[in-house]
Amino acid sequence: MNEKKSEEKENAAEPGTSLTPDEQKEVRKRLGREPNALELGMIDIMWSEHCSYKSSRPILKMLPTTGGAVVVGPGYDAGVIDIGGGWCAAFKIETHNHPSAIDPYNGAATGIGGIVRDILSMGARPVALFDSIHFGSLSSPHSRWLLRNVVKGIGDYGNCIGVPTVGGELQFDEGFERNCLVNAACLGFVRKDKIMKSDTAGEGDHIILAGGSTGRDGIHGVTFASKNLSMESEGERPAVQVGDPFTKKLLIDATLELLEAGLLKSLKDLGGGGLTCASSELAFKSGGGADIDISKIHLREKGMSPYEIMLSESQERMLYIADDARKAGVIAILEKYGIRYAEIGKITKGNYRVLDEKGKVLAEMKASLLTEAPTVDRPTKELKFEGKCMKLNKDISFALGQLMASENLCSRSWIYEQYDHEVGDRTVGKPGHDSAVLLAPNGGAVVVKLDSDSLWCNIDPYKGSAGVVCEAYRNVVSCGGKPLACVDNLSFGNPEKPEVMFQFKESVRGISDALKALETPCVGGNVSFYNEDEETKLSIKPTPVIMMVGVIDSLKKLRKCRMNKGEKLVLVGETRAEIGGSEYCRTILGAHCGVLPEPDLAAEKRNGEFVLANWENINAVHDVSRGGIAYALLEMCVQADMGAKITLDPIPMSGKEHVREEDIVFSETHGRYIIATKKAEELLAAAAKAGVPAAEIGIVGGGKIEIDAYQFKLQDMKEGYGKALWKAMEHNKV
């Protein structure tokens, strides 16, 4: 082990090793000379996949990024949209997959820390956190260990900084056994006229580095994230940063006070790529360079080389930019909070330079050399999808009982009870519902949902990814939100493999087509490649995560989504016999294949708009997604603590004669909602007028859930749904 560590160190001390020969040639060409070791190390980190998006950038151009509510699109620390009344929402999602697979507690915690800083960097107050986490299987001790520690890491960090974790998703699939996924997302509010961007610094402005001290932790974190995980990765624990939520809390409070006082010209967080990335991007976006005196930086340990200082990814650090007149004010606030800081240099009109205490130049180049990495056009190779799926007849009663308590559909309360989801006095739509609903400062609310589906995207990345967008869209609509925009987080395998690149391209194409049709542009995102296990050569299933954000303009429209006795149940949207890739297939048949539901994007939009337009005639509504009509109904019943009875006969469907019952109740056709209403007639009349397929399928009441002749005791379903995850996690101590 010791030997391995010293080897690691030697590698770390030899920069530039991950640049390809072509890239090294490009460096010499742009620089006009041989780079020294420090320069090469800085370029190496900035041209890594993680910092430069060199493989993904050409493909991401497909995504719609403008129009509608967009205020700040991709390319900044977070996307910003206009939510009305002079207010904006800033939001962003990012992975911390590689660190979390090695050190789940610290990996997940620092994932939260990083995403919070991104929101602050836009001048916004972070008000809500979200997580999308993926593991192998609940029956695997390793996955339970990861899950337990990831949840603890997110909870300990988020709870301490006082930003509630209000929503998210947990999914299990065998493909994540060795490579878990941890996506962290954050949303904040900012007045439209107070948005900060990293392009507003000017010549002569002071650069102040504040927060945690700079240590050796996290060096090469991004190059670590830009390769596959192997047994040696266990020895890469030093590349996983350690979080300090208390310092982060002080940084949040101080940053908000600095912003409120109008003392900053710009600000940026230090994340992947450390000081090199933050300072060069800030200088570049502001159209200039910078002089950085590294002798001023407060260090955690002695004897750190310039290379280590410039590449350290120590946590809880921010860069503040202030002009002469306001510098003293900035320092006074930092001192009030007891935050360590250093004036490390100035923005210039010239090159980006790193200096020592005597003013000797240690590195010098155009800022653009660091920030404008050459892209790579990676080859793709088409994958054929298995269309047929075996069909077995299973008893619906049995299947439904199993689905309710299955690892992918059961209640997540074991997780969200460990997260403070109430702090901030904004959480009106709490965890366990379709989406999170948060009071907004403009007198309305925002609705936020994270969705993904690795099984779908593995079977068919195009349809699967478009389907994920549709599902997120429906979830936002189901809470009364008008979807406005999204950010995406794309976790894939090794992009050097043409098959993976094909999946990536198809996935982005699916997302793009769906976003265009639904008029919800993408305002930012993150790509995580190399989620692949060295030994098994197993790549994760492609996993795009969509974070959809919508708005509710009046609090009168808030619904508890709890149906009442005697209300009629109306199904909106056409059902097709589409169970390929469904939860029923996976959990009951053990089949990870089939033809996916066809995303009918026009119908998706039309049906969503119908629900929102008829909101006053709706008491409770739930989208139909994973698990089909049967599961949606069960969830509504469990939430209302009340039974219901539906019949399948009236369900709008084409060619029903030859369809089996399970194809109807477990179909995952998109664009559907179940609505509980006292005004069924009005609703159906409006649907007919709008050309939306809809039918009354049942009534609310009683202690049983009935689907045609099938009957389930509500109490049994509550027990199975509510307790499954608790049992797995509490009864197994590992």
Partner 1 sequence: MTVSGGNQEEPQTEGGRSHPAVRSERKIAVIRFPGSNCDLDVVHALRDVVKINCELVWHADFKGSEYAGVVLPGGFSYGDHLRAGIIAAFSPAVKEVKQMASEGKPVIGICNGFQILTESGLLPGALLKNEKLNFVCKWVSLRIDSEKSFFTKGLSGKRLELPVAHGEGRYYIEEDRLREMERNGQIVFRYAARGPEDNENPNPNGSLSNIAGVCNEQGNVVGLMPHPERACEKLLGGEDGLMLLQKFIEIADRRK
Residues with catalytic function: 50, 96
Angstrom distance (rounded) from CA 421 to CA 446: 15
Does 328 bind partner 1 (CB under 8 A)? Our answer is no
Residue among 92, 220, 249, 622 that touches partner 1 (CB under 8 A)? 249
Angstrom distance (rounded) from CA 172 to CA 331: 47
Residue among 445, 511, 561, 637 that touches partner 1 (CB under 8 A)? 445
Smallest gap from Cβ 303 to partner 1, in A, equals: 28
Binding mask of the shown chain, residues 553 to 572, with x at each position contacting partner 1 by CB under 8 A: --x--x--------------
How many residues line the site for partner 1 (CB under 8 A)? 47
**CB nearer partner 1, residue 125 or residue 346:** 125
Does 189 bind partner 1 (CB under 8 A)? Our answer is yes
Distance of CA 656 to the CA centre of its chain: 38
Does 156 bind partner 1 (CB under 8 A)? Our answer is yes
Q: What are the phi and psi torsion angles at 623 (to 5°)? A: -80, 155
**CB nearer partner 1, residue 250 or residue 405:** 250
* 436-439 vs 445-451, strand pairing mode: antiparallel
**CB nearer partner 1, residue 12 or residue 80:** 80
Does 255 bind partner 1 (CB under 8 A)? Our answer is no
Residue among 31, 37, 62, 160 that touches partner 1 (CB under 8 A)? 160
The CA-based dihedral angle spanning residues 72, 76, 79, 85, taken in that order and rounded to the nearest 10 degrees: -50
Does 260 bind partner 1 (CB under 8 A)? Our answer is yes
Does 209 bind partner 1 (CB under 8 A)? Our answer is no
The two tokens of residue 638 are: 């469990």
Length of the chain: 734
- With left for phi above 0 and alpha for psi between -120 and 50, is residue 705 left, alpha or beta? beta
Does 268 bind partner 1 (CB under 8 A)? Our answer is no
Instruction: Report which residue type is found at 682.
Output: E
Does 538 bind partner 1 (CB under 8 A)? Our answer is no
Residue among 59, 181, 294, 333 that touches partner 1 (CB under 8 A)? 333
Does 443 bind partner 1 (CB under 8 A)? Our answer is yes
The two tokens of residue 681 are: 């007639």
673 pairs with which residues across the strands? 572, 623
Does 338 bind partner 1 (CB under 8 A)? Our answer is yes
Interface with partner 1 in residues 400-429 (CB under 8 A): 416-428
Are the C-beta atoms of 521 and 66 separated by less than 8 Å? yes
**Strand ranges for 372-473 from DSSP E:** 427-429, 436-439, 445-451
Angstrom distance (rounded) from CA 155 to CA 89: 23
Stretch that binds partner 1, among 102-110, 159-167, 378-386, 512-520 (CB under 8 A): 159-167
Smallest gap from Cβ 250 to partner 1, in A, equals: 6
Q: Name residue, tokens 């997110």.
A: 154
Smallest gap from Cβ 251 to partner 1, in A, equals: 11
Angle (CA) 58 62 63, round 5°: 120
709 burial type by CB count under 10 A (0-12 exposed, 13-18 middle, 19+ buried): exposed
Residue among 8, 44, 177, 244 that touches partner 1 (CB under 8 A)? 244
Cα separation of the two ends of the chain: 25
* Percent helix, percent strand, percent coil in the chain, to nearest 5: 40, 25, 35
Smallest gap from Cβ 678 to partner 1, in A, equals: 21
Does 438 bind partner 1 (CB under 8 A)? Our answer is yes
What is the DSSP code (8-state) at residue 597? P
Smallest gap from Cβ 634 to partner 1, in A, equals: 21
**CB nearer partner 1, residue 299 or residue 333:** 333
Does 162 bind partner 1 (CB under 8 A)? Our answer is yes
Q: Give the interface with partner 1 as residue ranges (CB under 8 A).
A: 87, 125, 152, 155-156, 159-162, 189, 191, 244-247, 249-250, 253, 257, 260, 333, 336-338, 416-428, 430, 438-443, 445, 555, 558
